[in-house]
Chain A
């Protein structure tokens, strides 16, 4: 319940934050809302020696209509994303998913950037950004870099960010043709046992799955089948292809594969397919 001791740095700007990370390297962790990191620190599963608190960088909290896409500041809280009129209008999937995370208190603190940078396969927003085919923008000592969501999630709690980089913006295409998030839980506040996200973007259908492997994953086989004219029901049958889901107290790998198919079928139907 009591984190190990650490030094606390509160940079006044994004560039100061990047410098602080560069200075402390692996020893440092970014703190945004803290709702991924602090729970680990309280159980001493994470013991960073420096926390770089970027939670107050107001410049990173926004939802902007950027023409063909939506630009969301990394420090936008789940609560704000859920209620943001621009997000609700242009990226209703993200807005909906943000409202399904954790509980209200968590949504009052947790941020989209924190959630994505944490790269937890059981987390909701990473799969949504994957399904939408989003792009992540990171600031490092060398400036800004864009990373497609498809290449961002590299392993369990492991992202493409280098230790010196700060995730600054999440870009997603405007997608209003239909969407769904089927989150299967035993208890409302829990992580998804399995989740299936469907986004219809420019005539394409994006499908991504939650908690079925070390990273959030695109259901490529489903997407390809749909693109090739398969029915939603036929496509959903392919949802578990290539998955190597984890086993835990709530599900075996086999049950997760089954759920991936069932939930994907339901999500596709809910998205109007």
Chain B
């Protein structure tokens, strides 16, 4: 079947098998390998991207379901050389180690803060319940998201 998606501002039209998952469409059809696969049970969130601005697990969305939608992946987050405030906060707070969960974690965090910029630590921890990280113990991720949320409230986004 034919699908047409806008990914990071660029429209792509491809012929795919109906069973093609969005994550494989991004990785294999478009070569956007920033989005990772970490599990097969919709648990880990490594594959999180934004669909029409909201976080979704791209391993549990068919490319067919994303037909006509707008997708943002980690590759589309920065404005040229200028890191998104969430990316900057992850760096400044050492919110990543091996980097594997990072793209999904950052996208989930962007969606979380966009929906509710006025959040506290508990809210951040619960809001990231669907994104697993094995390296950081989440401490610095939570600090980064709180910091980015602060900058969002101050109008920096």
Identify the A interface with B (CB < 8 A): 1-8, 10, 31, 34-35, 38-39, 41-43, 51, 53, 55, 79, 102-106, 108-109, 187-189
Q: Which A residues are in CB contact (< 8 Å) with B61?
A: 34, 38, 109
* Residue B134 at the chain A interface, CB threshold 8 Å: no
Alpha-carbon distance A6/B64, docked complex (angstroms): 12
Tell whether, in the assembled complex, residue A4 and residue B54 are in contact, meaning their CB atoms are under 8 Å apart. no
Given A1-B40, A38-B60, A38-B62: A106 and B130 within 8 A (CB)? yes
A-B pairs, top 8 by smallest CB distance, nearest first, are A103-B130, A8-B18, A188-B129, A1-B40, A108-B54, A3-B19, A105-B57, A189-B129
**How many A-B contacts are there with CB distance less than 8 Å?**
87
Interface residues on B, range: 20 to 34
Given A39-B41, A106-B130: A6 and B19 within 8 A (CB)? yes
Closest Cβ of chain A to B56, distance in Å, is: 5
Identify the B interface with A (CB < 8 A): 1, 17-19, 21, 24, 37, 40-43, 45, 48, 51, 54-57, 59-62, 64-65, 108, 111-112, 115, 126-127, 129-131
Tell whether, in the assembled complex, residue A106 and residue B42 are in contact, meaning their CB atoms are under 8 Å apart. yes
Q: Which residue of B lies closest to A7 (CB)?
A: B18
Most chain A C-beta atoms within 10 Å of own C-beta, residue among B37, B57, B126: B57
Tell whether, in the assembled complex, residue A105 and residue B40 are in contact, meaning their CB atoms are under 8 Å apart. no
Tell whether, in the assembled complex, residue B55 and residue A108 are in contact, meaning their CB atoms are under 8 Å apart. yes
Q: Which A residues are in CB contact (< 8 Å) with B129?
A: 103-104, 187-189
